[in-house]
Amino acid sequence: MCHCIAQKHKDLVGARNKLAETPLFLAALHGKKDAFLCLHKICGPDEGSKYCRKNDGETILHCAIAGEYFDLAYQIIDKYGTLVDSVNEEGLTPLHLLASKPAVFRSGSHLGFFHNIIYHCETP
Q: Domains in the chain and their CATH numbers?
A: 2-120 (1.25.40.20)
Higher pLDDT, 122 or 1: 1
Q: If pLDDT is split at 50, 70 and 90, which confidence band does 115 have?
A: low
pLDDT at 13: 82
pLDDT digits (tens, 9 = 90+) for 69-83: 999 999 999 999 999
pLDDT at 41 over 60: yes
Q: What is the pLDDT of residue 94?
A: 93
What distance in Å separates the CA atoms of residue 107 and residue 11, rounded to the nearest whole number? 46
Position with higher pLDDT, 121 vs 83: 83
Distance CA 7, CA 97 (A): 36
- Whole-model pTM over 0.75: yes
Give the DSSP per-residue string, 59-110: BHHHHHHHTT-HHHHHHHHHH-GGGGG---TTS--HHHHHHT-GGGSGGGS-
